[in-house]
Structure 1
Amino acid sequence: MTATLPPDLSATVRTRRSAPACTPVPDAINSTLGRKPFNEAYLRLDGWRRVSSAAQFDAVAEPTWTASLADVVRRRAASQQPAPSAIPGILTEIVGHWVEATDQHGVWWDAAAWRDGLAGTPLVGAVERVADGLTLLSDRTLITREHVFSVRDRPIDLFVASMAWGYGLSGYGWYRTRALFGRDGSAQIPRLVGELQESAGSPERTWTVLRGSQGLRGLGPAFGTKIAYFAGYDRTEGCGPLIADRWTAWSFWALAGSWDIRASADLYRRYVETATSWAAEVGVRSDDLERALFVAGPHVLRTWRALKSGR
């Protein structure tokens, strides 16, 4: 089967930049070295091995799997199939770099800014409840996947927690959350969450719920699938809806040859089913696989850009 290629680079660059929960090494952290003190906690949040000095960081900043991944991207761009062993090998190595389990995969969130921005709306109470008991460092709150899962039986809280985890420290997160909530959020979001939980066993039904009349106006695939994941994922069985965002889309193209998992129910189904199969092969949960694809995504795009520019 001939792999579907991503759009031209110019179209990709024009796409609104999503705000990833954690940006993998080295892209974000390299830009901070020399401008900020070395930050061990930042590295740990991004899923990399604990290091205690900039020298140790230099030794792990470019993991060996990036070279294998770059080769896969070059092959995909040339409509060639990667070596059969390349995909599980890359995914296994990415997972092997993590310090914390995926449930503990966290991001920093400015809960105080959200309280101020959402003052006077029904969401401010949800912000208070979601932030209650979370780790606080200076003016930042650490919110993990585990914590978002813990409020899944409270739909409005789940909505706020999913958005907070997705936007992290992005300055416009609370504004977008308020806009999505709109006038009818108090009634519409519980219905949406309930339908997502009922459809959790079928990726196509999940997609239909998100894109149909039940969905929220303006809620795109990246954040819609976050809500679906936190509402319906079965952590005991290791299966259910998975997050489909910019980075997982790029990685899935590189590893599976399909672009774009955010475009249709069929492509989303193929992504969830393939990730679940890869997870079984690697010996992890399917959301571990989604997280690995998220980590690999910026490296895929970087290689693709280099190829398109002739470097």
Structure 2
Amino acid sequence: MTVTAGEPPVPAALTSAVQRWREQGKPVQPPIHWSREAWRRHFPSQHAFLDALPERIDRAEATRHAADATTPEGAERAFLAAMIWGYGRVGYGPWRTARVLTTNPDAVDRLAEVAVVAREQGGLAAFRDLAEKPLRYLGVAFGTKYLRFVTAARSSDRAPILDAVVRRWVSTHTGQHLMIDAWRPAVYAKYIGLLTSWAAELGLATDTVEELIFRSAVSREGSGQWSEPWAGSRSPEQRAQAALLELEQLFDTAEAEQAQEARRHLDELERLIRQCWTD
């Protein structure tokens, strides 16, 4: 990944998050709890795999199960691990994951093909590949989670996750709107350019920057499945932002047209909220 000239400087919020993280000894992102029985109900053929997973899953665990993603069997396990990590205790996670695998003919073969592209050509190339032949019901938010773990398992060129949490943080702190309602390679390339530029300035890996953005965002807004020890009390504005984020995350696996329409309205609401507290 190369640095793109003319990118916005590192936002103050990111600089602060990095400083807090370093002061605390660079703690890893906490693992998440998940409902084993819920996933077992939707994936009866994967009971042995699911039973072998720990009760809490972190990025390292999901990465470990992506090592063999270039084969159909390995791709299915890698996809399940990524989705379990991504959804956590969200009740509709197993159903939505099963919908991706059952609605698309040869879904696991397609996931394995994408893994090959990711390993050989990088995350952006794999993103483009998915854009050319997308899997129905697999949106950018959860698709890039799969790409992140697939690339992290066998490459130093890790594909960064781009989901509702990160999208809204970037919008708030740079004014740039990264549309994730559909697979848009130009948007993902722009996002990679941002992270690569900031990572170079901060002396960090690109995917570490993405992780710290996510952790900072959910601790500040009190939303999502993660929490951080530096999270404090929230202001009315932060509570409003958290509510918007919770709504946006509902559209991560929605149909593209529905997600696009909904996110446009949410962006306008966010603009009005910011205006209320700055006027």
Give the TM-score taking structure 2 as reference length. 0.66
Deviations 1:216-245 (A, max 9, x none): 2111000010011111137874x4211000
Deviation at 1:212, TM superposition (A): 1.9
- Relative to structure 1, the CA distance from residue 197 to residue 130 in structure 2 (aligned partners, 3 Å threshold; closer, same or farther) is farther
- Matching residue of 1:233: 152
Q: Which amino acid is 2:22 matched to?
A: G
Give 1:287's match in structure 2, choosing from 186, 207, 210.
207
Which segments of 5 or more consecutive residues in structure 1 lack a partner in the other structure?
A: 1-81, 135-140
Match of 2:106 among 184, 203, 207: 184
Asked whether the 8 Å contact 2:119–2:154 carries over to 1, the reply is: no
* Alpha-carbon distance in 1 for matches of 2:25, 2:141: 25
Deviation at 1:114, TM superposition (A): 0.7
Q: Contact between 1:107 and 1:144, CA under 8 Å: does it hold in 2?
A: yes
Matches within 5 A, 1:106-255: 106-119=31-44, 122=45, 124-125=46-47, 128-132=48-52, 134=54, 141-152=55-66, 153=68, 154-182=74-102, 183-200=105-122, 203=124, 205-213=125-133, 215-233=134-152, 237=156, 239-255=157-173
Q: Would you say the 8 A contact 1:200–1:228 is kept in 2?
A: no
Letter paired with 1:275: L
Q: Return the TM-score normalized by structure 1.
A: 0.60
Q: Does 1:86 align with 2:8?
A: no
Q: 1:100 to 1:155 in 2, by over 3 A?
A: farther
Percent of aligned pairs with the same amino acid: 24
CA offsets 1:97-139 (integer angstroms, 9 cap, x no match)? 767644x5421111122102322xx4x24xx3254152xxxxx
Distance (whole Å) between structure 1 residues aligned to residue 153 and residue 115 of structure 2: 15
Question: Who wins on radius of gyration, i.e. which is larger?
Answer: 1
Q: Report the Cα distance in structure 2 between the residues aligned to 1:244 and 1:96, rounded to whole angstroms.
A: 23
Distance (Å, rounded) in 1 between the aligned partners of 2:171 and 2:82: 25
Richer in helix (by share): 2
Displacement after TM superposition at 1:296 (Å):
3.4
- Aligned-residue offset at 1:187: 2.8
CA contact (8 A) 2:119 2:155 kept: no
Q: Deviation digits for residues 129-186 of structure 1, max 9, x if unmatched?
A: 254152xxxxxx1011101111111211100000000000011111011100015234
Partners in 1 of 2:186 and 2:122 — Cα distance?
15
